[in-house]
Structures are given as C-alpha cells and as structure tokens.
Amino acid sequence: MGILRLITGWPGPSGFGSATTAEQVTAGIDAGDLTVVITGGASGIGLETSRVLALRGAHVIIAARNVEAANEAKQNILKSNENAKIDVLQLDLSSLKSVKDFADNFIALNLPLNILINNAGIMFCPYQLSQDEIEMQFATNHLGHFYLTNLLLDKMKNTASSTGIEGRIVNLSSVAHLHTYEEGIRFDSINDKKSYSDKKAYGQSKLANILHANELSRRLEEEGVNITVNSVHPGLIMTNLMKYSLNLMRIMKLLTYLLWKNVPQGAATTCYVAMHPDLKGVSGKYFLDCNEWPASDFARNPTMAKKLWDFSNHLLDSALQHS
C-alpha cells in the first residue's frame, strides 16, 4: 500500500483507501437487525461511527463518560435522521466499577449485542494513576476495554448463537503501537513513574489493544464461536483525543498535512471492519485504510498476547479485590 497510496487515497485490495468515508464503506448495508455498543461514541470518529451505523439502521448504544455531551450528540444525530435508534449509557473506562455498572445496566436492557466497538481512549496524558491504581493510559485504553469485553462476551455469544448473525468486536488501536517501550509491554513495571513516557505509554496501550484482539480471536476460534475480533488504525485525525499535546500535533500536522484525514474518513476503517460483508469470518487481523496491514512484530507475537491476557486478568483480580 505504502506512503503513496496513503497520500493519494488510491484504493487497496478491498476497493477502499485512505480517502474513503464511513458512509461509502457502508453504502447499501442494512444493519436494521444489529445492536452496537460503541465506547466514546459521542465525539470525534466515535460520533461519526455512531451516526453512520445508525444511518444504516443499527440500534446504537453510546457508552460515554460525559452523559450530557452524549445526549447532545444523540440529539444532533436525530436532527439529521429522525429514525435513528440511539441510547446513551454512562461509562468511565478508567474505573472498573463504572465498567461493571455499565455492563450490568446494558444487560438489564435485555437487548441483543452484535457488535462491540472499543473506540474510546486517552492520549499522551501526564503520568497519573486510575482510581484502581493503574497507569491511566493503560487502564483506560486497554484494561477498561478488556474488562468490558469480558463482561459482555456471554451476551455476544448468546446473540450470535440465537440469531445466526456473526458477532464482531473491533478494537481501535493506532500506528502508534510501533512506538512503545523497549520490551513492548512493561509487565514488571506498568506503574513506574520514573521511566514514564507519555508517548511510549500510549504506544504500549495501543499495542495492548492489538494483542488483546489477537488473543481473544484465537480463543473464540478455538471455542468455535461465531464472533470475529479485529483491530484498526483509524488514521491521523485532529480530535479532542489530542488535548494533552495540541501544539505538538498542530506542528506535526503542518509538516505532514498530506497524511491527515477528516473525521468521516477517520471513521471509515472502523465501520468497514464492523459491518462489511467481505470481512465475514475474518478475525485476528489489523486494518489500516480499510485494508489488512501487517502490525509490528510485538503485535503479532502470540506469546506476548497470551502473557498480556494473563497479566490483565491478574490486574483485574487484584484491583477488584481491593475495591
């Protein structure tokens, strides 16, 4: 695919490329039978993903930390599509209690669950610990989604089994997974403040998103479950995610302006992987610009993926015992 295709937007093997929008990749798809949970679905590419999936008929549950902003986003979607099926539930991914409360509240609605889009995240924030005493970027971007996925998995399995419709889980990662700590994931020093790097900690969390998707994909395939799990890089988009490094990002965008996408383009790969019929049965892959792409050596390491799975469960057990 290469840098030229990224700049020109020339389509890849899928027929789509960096210039493709979320509406274009979902054109003609009827999602009327589908229920979707999307974290961070009230702003940026998450909001565009919510809007487009609702436009195709899906029942979209926006999981958002700021319920007021999410309800405002819901109203904006309804203004342009009065038939949109949108609900809002509160979720703070940095709090394991909030994740559990969200899952309980969703399950109480007695809805099916066809698609889970782990979209929300924070980026380049100064060193801080979550209320569960875990480094904030790892806690929010990876562990919160890991726990949420675990809690919703039985619902997804039951839905896939009872409806015969393939379930799909999409983890939003980033090309930033290439820029992580030397050992990939710092299993022995996840909370170390002295050697903390906001950029590498972000890259570590995005690497964890891919490893999580790959290991879960392997486990579901082993079980024979009709659910796929993939990860995506949405592209370079200027959103609120960059609030901690806005000036740096503005300079970067000035120097690399040809590589940046607008929000409709940024949501395209997520929507493609979540809904496109061509990806039926495709699992454990990493996508960029609506095409499969090789992730880093760390990201494709099954031993590291298994180690992260066990490490994440250990972190959860420890944090939940002390909560």
Residue 62 has pLDDT above 50, yes or no: yes
> For the segment 240-290, what is each residue's pLDDT rounded down to a tens digit?
444 444 555 455 444 444 455 789 999 999 999 999 999 999 999 999 999
Chain-centroid distance of CA 145 in Å reads 8
Calculate mean pLDDT across residues 149-153.
Answer: 98
The answer as to whether 250 is a domain residue is: no
For residue 290, give the CATH number of its domain. Answer: 3.40.50.720
pTM recorded for the entire structure: 0.92
Show which residues are catalytic. Answer: 196
Residue 89, SS3 per DSSP: strand
pLDDT of residue 76: 97
The answer to whether position 244 is within a domain reads no
**What is the number of domains present in the chain?**
1
Strands of 85-90's sheet in order across: 85-90, 59-64, 35-39, 115-118, 167-172, 227-233, 286-288, 291-292
Buried b (16+ CB within 10 A) or exposed e, 76-88: ebeeeeeebbbbb
Under the banding of pLDDT at 50, 70 and 90, the label for residue 237 is low
> How many angstroms separate the CA atoms of 107 and 105, rounded?
6
Backbone Cα Rg of the chain: 18
**246 is a domain residue:** no
List, in order, residues 6 or more apart from 106 with CB less than 8 Å away: 37, 61, 89, 113, 152, 155
Is the pLDDT at 307 greater than 50? The verdict is yes
Going by pLDDT thresholds of 50, 70 and 90, the confidence category of residue 9 is: low
Query: Does residue 73 lie within any of the structural domains?
Result: yes
**Dist CA 235 CA 94 (whole Å):** 24
Whether 1 is covered by a domain: the verdict is no
Tokens representing 287 are 């996508």
Does 242 fall in a domain? Answer: no
Per-residue model confidence (pLDDT) at position 246: 53
More confidently predicted of 32 and 1? 32
Tell me the CB-side half-sphere exposure of residue 168, using CA atoms within 13 A. 28
Domain that residue 134 falls in: 21-236+263-321
Asked whether residue 241 is assigned to any structural domain, the reply reads: no
Predicted confidence band of residue 11 (pLDDT cuts 50, 70, 90): confident
Mean pLDDT of 120-136: 97
Quickly tell me which residue has 């760390």 as its tokens. Answer: 298
116 close to 170: Cβ distance less than 8 angstroms = yes
Residue 235's pLDDT is what? 82
Lowest mean pLDDT among 195-199, 240-244, 303-307: 240-244
> What kind and span of H or E run contains 86?
strand 85-90
Under the banding of pLDDT at 50, 70 and 90, the label for residue 239 is very low
**232 closest CA partner among 144, 143, 118:** 118
Q: Is residue 317 part of a domain?
A: yes
Query: Is 9 in contact with 19 (CB distance < 8 Å)?
Result: yes
Q: What is the identity of the amino acid at 245?
A: S
Tens digits of residue pLDDT in 178-195: 999 999 999 999 999 999
- Mean pLDDT (the chain) is 92
